[in-house]
């Protein structure tokens, strides 16, 4: 491609939202181009957690990119909640009529989608620079960028901004158009990758007086663990010995359970916030995924909300091209936000139930423990947690 080219849908960002949208559009016979500032190896090598809702797994399977997922993912009946040294199992599969928790890292989803798009001859441009959006409120929006030292320009019918939480697409929208809703949490997560066998057959969410901890699995030999920390702390302050001592304390159980330890291969501190911008559309630019909303990781909703967004957008674009029906495009933002706010509510609830804040009083701690006791003894409360965690039904 040299000079000015043309396509139906221009997609900014080759994360899970952008790649999945391009894949869904391809299956519907709709042309697209994906532009990404990072190189392919950087996109595929960014290690992030991945707990997939049943609906996300079903969508990947039904669209032909679930083969490796079903071979390599960990499928769990539910999760463990641990507090006061006691462990309580939430059997989500039984509570939701067969839906499961699937642990499959986000970068593995990206690898599967990249492979599928390139195998189908998809136009995915990695390593571009100076990406800009033009004429978003016209009938002929465009994406301009530099590639290999040459200027490129692609005219589109529509543009999808799927370029993450620091979204250039979102910042291209004029001031005053978007409303931003935000909550910054006074704690973060210290995450580690550990070369060790699994410590548990399912995820463990632990609430402790010293703060939250989480045990997850990445592979038979690589585990991911987290502990609550000051978001302004430094990785340099945490030796391996200090990390393991803190994890043992926060994960302590009356039955003597201890995490499997091993060499720590990665350390990272992640801040926690909840963000929603609305509307998720300006002219012919549509925002999806982290470009429009960010959730704390406690509720495992980030990738899943992104997948739900592009499912709605792909169906809306399909209706436009097949029937010239713009109704779904017109209500794209409202349809997505209905699910997003439910995901935000659940993520906020899980976060505040499991974490300690410095401002918490003894009342807050007792209330928190009462909430955990209720959630683990009431079938109605367990069902509510389970159906939100495995994913609410899609609105079709």
Instruction: Show me where the domains of the chain are located.
Output: 3-50+105-178+279-352, 185-272+359-390
pLDDT at 331: 97
* pLDDT higher than threshold 80 for residue 47: no
Does 185 participate in catalysis according to the annotation? no
Task: Give residue-wise pLDDT tens across range 145-184.
Answer: 999 989 999 999 999 999 999 999 999 999 999 999 999 9
Identify which has the larger pLDDT, 257 or 217: 257
| Predicted local confidence at residue 1, as pLDDT | 47
Q: Which CATH architecture has domain 3-50+105-178+279-352?
A: 3-Layer(bba) Sandwich (3.50)
Average pLDDT (134-151) is 95
Between 25 and 49, the more confident residue is: 25
The one catalytic residue in 26, 297, 332, 355 is 297
Catalytic residue chosen out of the listed positions 16, 301, 332, 355? 301
* pLDDT score of 131 more than 80: yes
∠ Cα 195 197 202 (to 5°):
120
- Give the integer Cα–Cα distance in Å for 326 and 297: 34
Q: What is the mean pLDDT of residues 15-24?
A: 97
Same CATH topology for 3-50+105-178+279-352 and 185-272+359-390: the answer is: no
389 is catalytic: yes
Q: Does the pLDDT at position 396 exceed 80? A: no
Average pLDDT, whole number, for the chain?
A: 96
The answer to whether 115 is a known catalytic residue is no
CATH H superfamily, domain 185-272+359-390:
D-Amino Acid Oxidase, subunit A, domain 2 (3.30.9.10)
Counting other chains too, the contacts that 110-114 makes at CB distance below 8 Å and 24 or more residues apart are 110/14, 110/15, 110/16, 110/19, 110/43, 110/44, 111/44, 112/60, 112/65, 112/66, 112/68, 112/69, 113/16, 113/19, 113/20, 113/23, 113/65, 114/14, 114/19, 114/40, 114/43, 114/44
For residue range 95-109, what is the model confidence (pLDDT) as tens digits?
A: 999 999 999 999 999
Is 50 exceeded by the pLDDT of residue 264? yes
Among 80, 104, 185, 205, which one carries the catalytic annotation? 205
Q: Catalytic one among 23, 26, 76, 293?
A: 76
Q: Looking at the predicted structure, is the pLDDT value of residue 219 above 90? A: no
């Amino acid at each position: 491609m040299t000079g000015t080219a043309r396509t139906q849908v221009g997609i900014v960002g080759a994360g899970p939202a952008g790649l999945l949208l391009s894949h869904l559009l391809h299956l519907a016979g709709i042309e697209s181009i994906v532009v990404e500032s990072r190189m392919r190896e950087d996109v595929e090598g960014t290690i992030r957690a991945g707990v997939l809702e049943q609906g996300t797994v079903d969508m990947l399977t039904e669209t032909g990119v679930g083969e490796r997922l079903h071979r390599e993912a960990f499928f769990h009946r539910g999760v463990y909640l641990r507090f006061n040294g006691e462990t309580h199992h939430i059997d989500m599969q039984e509570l939701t009529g067969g839906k499961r928790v699937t642990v499959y890292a986000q970068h593995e989803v990206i690898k599967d989608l990249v492979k599928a798009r390139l195998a189908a001859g998809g136009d995915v441009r990695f390593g571009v620079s100076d990406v800009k959006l033009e004429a978003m409120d016209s009938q002929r929006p465009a994406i301009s960028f530099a590639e290999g030292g040459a200027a490129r320009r692609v005219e589109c019918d529509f543009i999808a901004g799927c370029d993450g939480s620091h979204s250039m697409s979102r910042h291209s929208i004029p001031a005053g158009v978007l409303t931003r809703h935000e909550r910054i949490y006074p704690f973060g997560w210290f995450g580690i990758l550990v070369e060790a066998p699994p410590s548990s057959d399912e995820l463990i969410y632990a609430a402790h007086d010293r703060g939250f901890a989480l045990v997850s699995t990445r592979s038979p030999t690589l585990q991911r663990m987290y502990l609550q920390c000051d978001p302004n702390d430094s990785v340099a302050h945490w030796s391996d010995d200090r990390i393991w001592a803190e994890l043992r304390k926060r994960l302590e159980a009356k039955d003597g359970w201890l995490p499997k330890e091993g060499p720590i291969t990665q350390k990272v501190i992640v801040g926690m916030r909840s963000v929603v911008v609305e509307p998720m559309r300006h002219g012919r630019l549509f925002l999806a995924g982290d470009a429009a909303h960010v959730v704390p990781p406690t509720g495992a909703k980030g990738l899943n909300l992104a997948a739900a967004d592009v499912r709605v957008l792909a169906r809306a674009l399909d209706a436009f091209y097949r029937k010239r029906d713009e109704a779904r495009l017109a209500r794209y933002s409202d349809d997505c936000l209905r699910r997003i706010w439910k995901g935000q509510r659940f993520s906020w609830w899980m976060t505040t139930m499991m974490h300690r804040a410095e401002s918490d009083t003894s009342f807050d701690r007792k209330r928190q423990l009462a909430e955990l006791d209720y959630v683990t003894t009431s079938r109605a409360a367990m069902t509510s947690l389970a159906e939100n965690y495995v994913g609410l039904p899609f609105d079709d």
